[in-house]
Amino acid sequence: MNTAPTFDVDAIRADFPILNRDVNGQSLAYLDSAATSQRPIQVTEAMREFTQQSNANISRSVHTLGAEATEAYEGARARIADFIGAPAAEEIVFVKNSTEGINLLAYAFQNASAERGADARFQLGPGDEIVITEMEHHSNLVPWQQLAERTGATLKWLEITDHGRIELENLDEVITDRCKIVSFVHVSNLLGTVNPTEAIVKRAREVGALVAMDGSQAAPHIPVNVTELGVDFYIFTGHKMLGPTGIGAIWGKTELLEAMPPFISGGSMVSTVTMERTTFAPPPAKFEGGTPPITEAVGWHVAIDYLDKIGMDNVRSHEKELAAYMLDSLDQVDGLTVIGPKVPIGRGATVSFDLDGVHPHDVGQVLDAHGVAVRVGHHCAKPTCIRFGVNATTRASAYIYTTKSEIDRLASALDKVRDVFA
């Protein structure tokens, strides 16, 4: 992995033309990267060039364009596998986003019956347990709720402390020998918490449970090595890490992917087909029925090249500095309460907050009038909001192109919010 000796945020910003635009007469301060990151010109140019020069479907074509498209698509798979330390490219299954990746995994449990000779690790029924946490995005909550309803299994969760951390004191009581799958977020999209993984993975191993991790907010911001994490599945998405929308990935261990039933049936995911029955292709093709997001894979490949050129250690260091600066700046705003860790340790540069007496939607509108783009609402993490006694929050999230001056503008605009609603 290439690591740049210095982190030059001005040079990085030059690659993002959108950061030069004005919004409501003010220069844009984009602090909503946890929802969707911006794309560097290198990504959009690579997608444009592929579309203009090599656009074709993959796998079965013998003509030149088809071969180029196949090479580009599979090259992206290999690049993404390398980025997260996956042992083999074939362990990367392309999906349209993290939500689909988690649903793919939940579907495997729903459709793995003993009658059909399914692997016992995926068989789920009354008496079995699914464990998540109280800080999950709805994408890592609702599929498991649905699975529990359909199979009769019990859904359990690890709670959150007042400081925005996973409560580990009762880990053994929550993750019992009846647990079949533990699925939890690596970095919280609302709290910014970077969760410890060792204790949870260790406990899951003790009871024989599989472990899945939602890495949507981690892979863009911190070095990730799935082998070192010790998990069985890791799910992440392109549009939060400088890539396009419409593409994500689930990494899974080879032997587990082989044991799982297919998710979407149709073309491209088969081995043989007769009128009576069908046999399926090996992973990852087994899970990629239909025409895949080829151009998007090309863009994601280049996005990962871009991050690797910067160096993920440098990305992490830059954002730790921004997190500390943002927490200090917000601490100076009267009536503002940070929801989540209030220290820049074990957290990312995503900070959610409540401004006393002002609805987050009003906060967001006033900030937008000053050119500051943030997120408002429950951020698809409503149970987390309930845990902290708020209906919604305002969320500011930084990334590689964020500057301290933009955080200063956030704090200044929040003072103006106070004035407007005084």
Tell me if 422 is assigned to some domain.
Answer: no
Q: What pLDDT does 3 receive?
A: 44
Is 179 noted as a catalytic residue in this protein? no
Q: What pLDDT does 120 receive?
A: 85
Answer yes or no: are the C-beta atoms of 333 and 414 closer than 8 Å.
Answer: yes
**What is the C-alpha separation between 333 and 330, in angstroms, rounded?**
5
Whole-angstrom CA distances from 169 to 77, 161, 175 are 39, 10, 12
Whether 132 and 176 map to the same domain: the answer is: yes
For the record, the structure tokens of 70 come out as 């196949």
pLDDT in single tens digits along all 422 residues of the chain: 444 447 899 999 999 999 999 999 999 999 999 999 999 999 999 999 999 999 999 987 789 999 999 999 999 999 999 999 999 999 999 999 999 999 999 999 888 766 566 788 998 999 999 999 999 999 999 999 999 999 999 999 999 999 999 999 999 999 999 999 999 999 999 999 999 999 999 999 999 999 999 999 999 999 999 999 999 999 999 999 999 999 999 999 999 999 998 989 998 899 999 999 999 999 999 999 999 999 999 999 999 999 999 999 999 999 999 999 999 999 999 999 999 999 999 999 999 999 999 999 999 999 999 999 999 999 999 999 999 999 999 999 999 999 999 999 999 999 999 889 87
Bridge partners of residue 132, in order along the sequence? 157
DSSP 332: T
Whether 150 and 233 map to the same domain: the answer is: yes
Answer yes or no: are the C-beta atoms of 323 and 349 closer than 8 Å.
Answer: yes
**What is the C-alpha separation between 239 and 374, in angstroms, rounded?**
17
- What is the residue-wise DSSP string for 115-142? GGT--GGG---TT-EEEEETT--GGGTH
Last-in-domain residue among 257, 277, 308: 308
Whether 27 and 80 map to the same domain: the answer is: no
Tell me if 383 is assigned to some domain.
Answer: yes
Tell me if 278 is assigned to some domain.
Answer: yes
Tell me if 2 is assigned to some domain.
Answer: no
Whether 274 and 239 map to the same domain: the answer is: yes
Of 35, 78, 207, 380, the catalytic one is 380
52-89 burial code (b ≥16 CB/10 A, e <16): eebebebeeeeeeebebbbebbbebbebbbebbebeeb
Q: How far is CA 361 from the centre of its chain?
A: 24
Q: How many domains does the chain have?
A: 2
Whether 368 and 280 map to the same domain: the answer is: no
**What is the C-alpha separation between 282 and 80, in angstroms, rounded?**
19
Element (H, E) at 7: none
Q: What pLDDT does 336 receive?
A: 97
Answer yes or no: are the C-beta atoms of 226 and 320 closer than 8 Å.
Answer: no
* Neighbouring residues of 344: CB distance < 8 A, sequence distance ≥ 6: 320, 323, 324, 327
**What is the C-alpha separation between 374 and 259, in angstroms, rounded?**
42
Whether 30 and 148 map to the same domain: the answer is: no
Q: What pLDDT does 4 receive?
A: 45
Whether 174 and 276 map to the same domain: the answer is: yes
Tell me if 318 is assigned to some domain.
Answer: yes
For the chain, first and last CA: distance in Å?
52
Taking Cα atoms as reference points, which of 403, 409, 387, 419 lies closest to residue 7?
Answer: 403
Last-in-domain residue among 283, 308, 333: 308
Tell me if 1 is assigned to some domain.
Answer: no
For the record, the structure tokens of 280 come out as 């399926």
* pTM across the whole model: 0.96
Query: Could you tell me the residue range of the domain that residue 158 belongs to?
Result: 46-308
Whether 104 and 217 map to the same domain: the answer is: yes
Q: Please provide residue 167's backbone torsions phi and psi, each rounded to the nearest 5 degrees.
A: -75, 115
Q: What pLDDT does 61 receive?
A: 78
Tell me if 103 is assigned to some domain.
Answer: yes
**What is the C-alpha separation between 56 and 292, in angstroms, rounded?**
11
Tell me if 254 is assigned to some domain.
Answer: yes
For the record, the structure tokens of 274 come out as 């007769």
Positive or negative: CA dihedral 53, 59, 60, 62? positive
10 Å CB burial of residue 356 (0-12, 13-18, 19+) is: exposed
Answer yes or no: are the C-beta atoms of 195 and 213 closer than 8 Å.
Answer: no
Answer yes or no: are the C-beta atoms of 194 and 185 closer than 8 Å.
Answer: no
Q: What pLDDT does 162 receive?
A: 97
Whether 214 and 284 map to the same domain: the answer is: yes
Q: What pLDDT does 117 receive?
A: 66
Whether 214 and 87 map to the same domain: the answer is: yes
CATH number of the domain residue 80 falls in: 3.40.640.10
Whether 247 and 281 map to the same domain: the answer is: yes
For 79, the 3-state DSSP assignment is helix
**What is the C-alpha separation between 227 and 87, in angstroms, rounded?**
8
Whether 28 and 125 map to the same domain: the answer is: no
Q: What pLDDT does 220 receive?
A: 98
Classify the phi-psi angles of 66: left when phi > 0, otherwise alpha if psi is within -120 to 50, otherwise beta.
Answer: alpha
Torsion of CA 341, 346, 347, 348, to 10 degrees: 170
Last-in-domain residue among 278, 308, 338: 308
CATH number of the domain residue 369 falls in: 3.90.1150.10
